[in-house]
Structure 1
């Protein structure tokens, strides 16, 4: 990513934070095994570099219609067998795999210390029904190397998208030693808390790396939670009715590509894509590229949220190139929001926003703001709009600088 010149003028922003909320209407589950419009596959399992060993889940009793305990046991036995052979591919036959009701936050298929394994699940739909305010993880990978899940679909009949954290995390990842190389390819999720969530904390933020997510998420809370991943995150999602497409604390070396649409019934958030810095000790945000194409109602306080959190005075969000293409988003309020919250949104901050380039286009009616910053920063830094956006954002202001 090209770093912006330090000679460019500092962009001093002013504005007011706006939230967004909408009443929830029930949305029916789609037929995730084929009835929903799907993205074109990108090759999926062919991209996985694993040994040539192949086993089928059906050989271990994991077949559509089997009970939850049998499905969990089949996955564990199959993955154990592959691990004993140095890795390989697990084939999941087409069909619906119902893991039944979930009343706690347990991980159903727990995978520890696995490496060089691909799960090919094209045409397979994994379902649960969450019946309490919990977040079960269907698959949970703790310490791993070179894992691919391709073609899998997920749905939770008990999901609720308001912030009571009710619903399935399709895939959770965590590490207490260096773990790298996790791919979700051609995956689909509907009515879930997230397709992928990193469960690492700030103390272990350097242990996860090289994470790739490609697929489609509909009627969900998150697309991806990529918090505390040390480097190399690639997210390519089509989203419809998600509260957040991507949320990430201390994100570094990332490329995020999102296409999103929304309806007025689905609740929004203060940022569709949220880049979070919780302070210098927690981890800076650095070297992130975002490309977002948005249409529909736009129930979001912003499309890209540059979000400082916590009381610590130090912390930086820098080297970010963000592009938003907005098309007939009738209720859009702000494209880019910069603020610092520590119990409340601070009027001023010593936190840093620097070397940030903002690009985009706006089609159709738009009465919102291109840019807002309720928390004025006293730290040196440069935030620049391209000429096209500057024309929509009070182009005569003296703080405008050219990001083209």
Structure 2
């Protein structure tokens, strides 16, 4: 077994890692699609799997990081293992199977702070990262600050102290932030249960051009968030299986995003006003542009809407444009609304100068399902058009102003997405 001084490792472990990463990369490269052969949201070349990871491999256990080790020993092992790979020009940190319990947290800490990683994979198939959030705080298990071409694969996360109700508390599995250009972060085959969220972007509007090329594939259950991808410059893809998740995806100023969610829920779990929330706080803070959303939903309805086109804040100008959204309700249920369009400033506004433009809505309802296809409590005074598939238009009844039936000759609207 390789030690600290020899970061190479045998072909067997390389093959094991390659199988896991290849499966995850394939899942990202071929997300589930529904209904149409539409043009991609951004050029296919931007969705490449990324720069290859160098073959150098080190094992966390060789640095003292073993199941049962205490928090300080585990943090030191990650620090030293990643430092060894950085000196080698990149490679893979192999985390052996087992439970890595970091104990109780009463501060909003970065449990494993990972700065300036480049060309590094963390292979954690069979590894469980556990914590116990003891107060109303939000720690992060992995916090990647400035990065280039980083993959976390196979990890499972659980927070024994997570609380999903009004005064929620709990761990984010992964946080990202950048003060310089950072791109190429991938979560592959990751699972999260009873956590605040799988991934959170912590850049504000001023730094929204610094983060790009973020890809997340995995499973989330009994959580508040799946993925929070606010203020990412572009190149976001998400492919999630969710059960009892209040918000599968939320993003302020989303650009060039492709979101695929398969979800189910129980009525006992708290819901939200939107399973997928696309948020615009105003043009100066970033419009929402070039987004594709696909949702397959079963089980009880705990959400006011499945896709929420959500303008916020007092700025007069702001737009959501070139968006393609599909919701398929796969089992009979009493639902709220498939697609919700509104603008909130200390309450929902009856009229707004914000714009919804070149938006295409698709989907299907299981026989016997009840609920609304569209709700538009904030009537837009700006130009712009929302198109519905003919089958949805037939289910929607009377449509709001500027909502139109899509041309019969086209599988989608004339959308630049």
Q: Which residue of 1 is the match for residue 405 of structure 2?
A: 401
Aligned partners of 1:177 and 1:394: how far apart in 2?
A: 49
Say if 1:134 and 1:167, in contact at 8 Å, map to a contact too: yes
SS in structure 1 of the partner of residue 404 of structure 2? coil
2:85 to 79, 82, 91: 82
Aligned partners of 1:382 and 1:374: how far apart in 2?
A: 16
Q: Which residue of 2 is the match for residue 363 of structure 1?
A: 366
Aligned partners of 1:332 and 1:397: how far apart in 2?
A: 20
Shift of 1:41: 8.0
Shift of 1:156: 0.4
Mean CA deviation greater in 274-283 or 79-88:
79-88
SS in structure 2 of the partner of residue 320 of structure 1? strand
TM-score by length of 2: 0.85
SS in structure 2 of the partner of residue 69 of structure 1? helix
1:134 aligns with 2:114: no
C-alpha distance 120-396 of structure 1, shift in aligned 2 (>3 A): closer
C-alpha distance 291-187 of structure 1, shift in aligned 2 (>3 A): same
Q: Which residue of 2 is the match for residue 72 of structure 1?
A: 75
Q: Which residue of 1 is the match for residue 24 of structure 2?
A: 44
Shift of 1:329: 5.2
Q: Which residue of 2 is the match for residue 385 of structure 1?
A: 388
Say if 2:385 and 2:404, in contact at 8 Å, map to a contact too: no
1:198 aligns with 2:178: no
Q: Which has the higher helix share?
A: 2
SS in structure 1 of the partner of residue 284 of structure 2? coil
Alignment of 1:287-298 (within 5 A): 287-298=290-301
1:101 aligns with 2:101: no
- Structure 1: gaps of 5 or more residues: 1-39
Say if 1:42 and 1:186, in contact at 8 Å, map to a contact too: no
Q: Which residue of 2 is the match for residue 170 of structure 1?
A: 173
SS in structure 2 of the partner of residue 44 of structure 1? helix
Using CA pairs below 8 Å that are at least 6 residues apart, which structure has the higher relative contact order?
A: 1
SS in structure 1 of the partner of residue 72 of structure 2? helix
Deviations 1:88-119 (A, max 9, x none): 00000000000000111010110111111000
1:183 aligns with 2:186: yes
1:313 to 310, 316, 322: 316
1:376 to 376, 379, 384: 379
SS in structure 1 of the partner of residue 314 of structure 2? coil
Aligned partners of 1:365 and 1:351: how far apart in 2?
A: 35
SS in structure 2 of the partner of residue 43 of structure 1? helix
Q: Which residue of 1 is the match for residue 121 of structure 2?
A: 118
Deviations 1:7-58 (A, max 9, x none): xxxxxxxxxxxxxxxxxxxxxxxxxxxxxxxxx9862389671111100000
Deviations 1:208-233 (A, max 9, x none): 00000000000000000000000000
